[in-house]
Structure 1
Amino acid sequence: MSIRPFREIKRKNTKVINVGEVKVGGYNPISVQSMTNTLTSDSYSTIKQILEIQEAGADLVRVSCPDEESTKALKEIKKETQIPLVADIHFHYKRAIEAAENGANCLRINPGNIGDENKIKEVISAAENNNCSIRVGVNAGSLEKDILEKFKEPCPEALVESALRNIQILEDQNFENMKISVKSSDVFLSIAAYELLSEKTNYPLHLGITEAGGFVPGSIKSSIGIGKLLLNGIGDTIRVSLSDDPVEEVKVGNEILKSLNLRNRGVKIISCPSCARQAFKVIDTVKILEQKLSHIKEPVTLSVIGCVVNGPGEASMTDVGITGGGKGNNMLYLSGVQSEKILTDDIISKVVQEVEKKALEIKDRK
């Protein structure tokens, strides 16, 4: 069931680039990415984690390439995975060349940090020869010395000046296949930097609040910062940076997009916080349903409300709904219409069955 959103976001129409088979920019779907925390040289562990990240709903994945063993491992990793790979490179231009030649679809670098003009030309040549894009990644914690001296501290103007400088280095070599990020761990600094950068360039922007922290604080900071920018039409790809399992980053990223009606993937659950009126254990039920429905990729809406105060209204706007009733008789709604009474003990199995059926219908219509 499709409900017209109260507000539709008007996105900025940025330049479109390719990261592997994923189009980034323009009006293409906003992509979600995460980063592995395994040693990339340990190809077995890295492949395993990449597959988990992809299964969770990521569109892109970044891997760190600090040494030659890591860039060599990309060739094996690429054979065993389908998701586009972004190679994280710092300082050493040869690692960037090796990564491009061994299967990376994008290089995350700061051109100004990798050496003289000849080295930059070699990296650009490797990127062009291997259909590899570049992400210019500016971070408040690693700004150039002269920029820090000029602005005295990290500020929006400092991050944007660094970004524009690195963009110019690539443009001077006639390379424009790039996306840009200006990240900070400070929400306000990040928002202001991205807003300023969006005014000055039309390249696609990769959004994130870097080093956001653990699951709860990091998710909140990221939701506020990334969400504020997305609401204003800024951003083409996102990463939620958490001190947690990368799979959790993907889940939070997709939830941010779903909450803004920017991307529909998987089951969107509308549920109440529960109270003394609940006719079944809402919190426990939702936790179980989240786990049992995590495999579904089609956009299905599900409402789980513990009583009849708001339950019927929410159920009328979702594909599947369950509303608590008296004496263990709960009402199941399908496509907004009352269907049948369900005993409390049967809620999980019945809801899973109906959501899977609805997902199959949606898949067949594609």
Structure 2
Amino acid sequence: MTGEQQVHIGDKLIGRGLPVLVQTMYDSAIPHETDELEELIRRIGKLNAMGCDVIRFSYPSAEDHDAFSYLCRKSPIPIVADIHFDYKLALDALNCGADKIRINPGNIGAKWKVEEVVKSAKDRGKAIRIGLNSGSLPRGNDPAELLMSNTALEYLSWFEQWGFTNTVVSLKASDTELTLKANRLFASQSPYPLHLGVTEAGSVISAVTRSTWALGQLLSEGIGNTIRISITGDIESEVQAGVELLRTLGMRKKGIRIVSCPRCGRHSFDSQGFLASVEQELLTIDKDLTVAIMGCQVNGPGEAKSADLAITGLGNSIFLYEKGKLVKKVTQQDAKAALLEAIEHA
């Protein structure tokens, strides 16, 4: 096909020139109890407030049908079902109301099984992600990036023969250079949207470093439409990292930008502890503000000049700045409430 392909994922639309979306993947089995499902819906709502646009769930068993259907009905953001090996699970997930399913056609089984899944998605107006990881490719002698891109193109040709084009592709590897090469190659050959990620990236520091290196380059080149920073850790960190990457690249404006010092021997205010106590709330506030949290009176006033709001301290005395001007002096116990109140009225 020619031209730039746009894809609907629930109420979201992705494609060239449209906002890049942040995605995460739920980190546990789907709960079945109503109170646990309600708690999960609240967690998804918080993730959404932090900037998460899409969430993916493993769907390993039809025993999850009722619970997954509940999530699909109640979730404030589109839900993706991750399917491996069993095409009947893909059909069941679509029946539950999943907005998108992620499959590797190579491990679903016979081609007719893939066709059944594609036709069901087409009939329901749902999206499919063709997800290929470097470790799950068909055998071949070509370079891995060429094998990844060509395999995706072959599967896309199947889908198009069956009249389906609401497709996203992901080409992931734990190797950052392979991730770069494969996605660049595919983007030069196909108009379909790409979901970007470095798979099995590791703990927070290694995952954010490696993912930012690879995804930052691709996004800067106009490649990529949804992203996930895969972290061996909590999914809130994945969302925060993804949003911050987009903000750093100038691709997302909304939300609080936090500036905080690394702390040193001069500190008399526990800026790290204060940030930990307030960060999750700050990340859910939909205001375009810069907030500085500094540990002493040396750098604090300077950072306050360029921040919309700033907190710094000297002993038990905490100083709140607005637009570089000192407006309030409070105790450490009242500092969080004072900052949140100032943000509310900013």
- What is the TM-score when the length of structure 2 is the normalising length? 0.87
Change (3 A) 1:160 1:304: same
1:210 corresponding residue in structure 2: 199
Does 2:326 match 1:332? no
- The answer to whether the 8 A contact 1:89-1:96 is kept is yes
The residue that corresponds to 1:109 in the other structure is 103
Question: CA contact under 8 A between 1:71 and 1:95: conserved in structure 2?
Answer: no
Partner secondary structure for residue 17 of structure 2: coil
**Structure 1 210/232 Cα, relative in aligned 2: closer, same or farther at 3 Å?**
same
1:55-204 residue pairs with structure 2 within 5 A? 55-57=46-48, 58-144=52-138, 148-151=139-142, 155-204=144-193
Q: In structure 2, how many angstroms separate the alpha carbons of the residues matched to 1:91 and 1:41?
A: 22
Say if 1:274 and 1:136 are closer, same or farther in 2 by CA, change over 3 A.
same
2:329 alignment partner, one of 342, 346, 349? 342
Inter-partner Cα distance in structure 1 for 2:111 and 2:324: 66
Residues 97 and 319 of structure 1: CA distance in aligned 2, closer, same or farther (over 3 Å): same
TM superposition shift of 1:20: 0.3
Letter in 1 for 2:232: S
Contact 1:89 1:108 in 2 (8 A): yes
User: How far apart are residue 313 of structure 1 and its match?
Assistant: 4.6
The 2-side partners of 1:344 and 1:262 are apart by 38
Identity %: 36
Q: 1:354 aligns with which of 333, 342, 345?
A: 342
Q: Is the 8 A contact 1:65 1:89 kept in 2?
A: yes
Match of 1:34 among 24, 29, 32: 24
Aligned to 1:342, the other structure's residue is in SS state: strand
Q: Which residue of 1 aligns with 2:282?
A: 293
Give how far 1:46 is off: 5.7
Q: Flag structure 2 segments of 5+ consecutive residues without an equivalent.
A: none
Question: 1:277-336: per-residue Cα shift (whole Å, max 9, x none)?
Answer: 4453322232223144344233322112345655445333322123557x87665332x2
- Alignment of 1:261 with 2:250, yes or no, is yes
Deviates more, 1:286-295 or 1:20-29: 286-295
Pairwise CA distance, 1:140: 0.6
Shift of 1:43: 6.3
Query: In structure 1, how many angstroms separate the alpha carbons of the residues matched to 2:194 and 2:287?
Result: 27
Q: Which moved more, 1:268-277 or 1:15-24?
A: 268-277
Cα distance, 1:119–1:43 mapped onto 2, change above 3 Å: farther
Instruction: Verify: 1:19 aligned to 2:13, yes or no.
Output: no
Counterpart of 2:342, as a letter, is: E
Give the conservation status (yes or no) of the 8 Å contact 1:267–1:302.
yes
User: How far did 1:223 drift?
Assistant: 2.3
Structure 2 counterpart of 1:15, which letter?
Answer: Q
Unaligned runs of 5+ in 1: 1-12, 359-366
How far, CA to CA, are the matches of 1:344 and 1:224 in structure 2? 41
Q: Is the 8 A contact 2:129 2:170 kept in 1?
A: yes
8 Å CA contact 1:112–1:169 kept in 2: the answer is: no
Matched-pair contact (CA < 8 Å) for 1:38–1:46: no
Instruction: Please give the alpha-carbon distance, in whole angstroms, between the structure 1 residues aligned to 2:168 and 2:84.
Output: 17
Number of residue pairs aligned between Structure 1 and Structure 2: 339
Q: In the superposition, relative to structure 1, how do residues 14 and 214 fare at CA in structure 2: closer, same or farther (>3 Å)?
A: farther
Alpha carbons 2:321, 2:328 under 8 Å: kept: no
Distance 1:348 1:66 in 2: 43
**In structure 1, the residue corresponding to 2:306 is in which secondary structure?**
coil
CA–CA distance in structure 1, aligned partners of residues 309 and 99 of structure 2 = 39
